[in-house]
Amino acid sequence: MTGMREVYQEQLGDLAEELASMSTMVGTAMERATKALLEADLTLAEQVIEEDVHVDEARARAEEQAFGLLALQAPVAGDLRTVISTIHAAEDLERMGDLALHVAKAARRRHPQPVLPEPVQEYFAEMGRVAVDLCARAAAVIRSRDIDAARDLEAADDAVDDLHRHLFTVMMSSEWSHGVAAAVDVTLLGRFYERFADHAVAVGRRVVFTVTGSMPTS
């Protein structure tokens, strides 16, 4: 029985590692997509678009492993929370990959012209930096199950929300001279980064739920 339990715990560890790898993967995607956006780099944009399938495949693997554990091991209590949270976290991470994909597609669509007017570029550079940092921290949280670190993700998300709000201040300024089309692009792209950060926080909340049995409410 002890041997079976050890194998089971190893399988749970493999599941966590799959999630952590997904977090790293979507962080890399957003880092490249942001660079493509800021530098009108078509090669990087195409790379993000082509490699999005790997995120989808990772989610499929995580879900297959999780459902396999549900079917074969009948986990209870904390272990059951781990498996169920994995399924939801994999969905969050796949959506983060999709949001990076949307950023890359915007860069490709406008190429060779830059998508972002100069006044907002610094905001997107910082949102991209925070987004990548969130992914690294989420990966660490998944591996460590550190609930304090998981809760700290909220602060980084607040930073993205603040930057997102500043975008509207810039666009509504009397000095905005870049037209409606650029404003629409900026609005959509800002929303992609905001949602990306929200999903990273959701992953952290899944970890808190796994450890404590209670889902954070804020």
Q: What span, in angstroms and rounded, lies between the C-alpha atoms of 191 and 75?
A: 38
Q: What span, in angstroms and rounded, lies between the C-alpha atoms of 40 and 38?
A: 6
Instruction: Give the domains, in start order, of the chain with CATH numbers.
Output: 2-212 (1.20.58.220)
| DSSP codes of every residue in the chain | -HHHHHHHHHHHHHHHHHHHHHHHHHHHHHHHHHHHHHHT-HHHHHHHHHHHHHHHHHHHHHHHHHHHHHHHH---HHHHHHHHHHHHHHHHHHHHHHHHHHHHHHHHHHTTS-SS-HHHHHHHHHHHHHHHHHHHHHHHHHHH--HHHHHHHHHHHHHHHHHHHHHHHHHTSTT--SHHHHHHHHHHHHHHHHHHHHHHHHHHHHHHHHHHS-----
Q: What span, in angstroms and rounded, lies between the C-alpha atoms of 152 and 167?
A: 24
Q: 4-35: buried (b, 16+ CB within 10 Å) or exposed (e) per residue?
A: eeeeeeebbeebbebbbbbbbbbbbbbbbbbb
Q: What span, in angstroms and rounded, lies between the C-alpha atoms of 144 and 153?
A: 14
pLDDT in tens, 37-81: 999 999 999 999 999 999 999 999 999 999 888 887 767 777 888
Number of residues written out for the chain = 218
In the prediction, which pLDDT does 178 show?
95
Q: What span, in angstroms and rounded, lies between the C-alpha atoms of 145 and 205?
A: 11
The mean pLDDT value for 10-37 works out to 95
Confidence of residue 83 (pLDDT cuts 50, 70, 90): confident
| Rama region for 215: left / alpha / beta (φ>0; ψ in -120 to 50; rest) | beta
Question: pTM here?
Answer: 0.94
Q: What span, in angstroms and rounded, lies between the C-alpha atoms of 137 and 111?
A: 32
Type of residue found at 88: H
pLDDT in tens, 113-134: 999 999 999 999 999 999 999 9
Decide if 130 contacts 159 (C-beta within 8 A).
yes
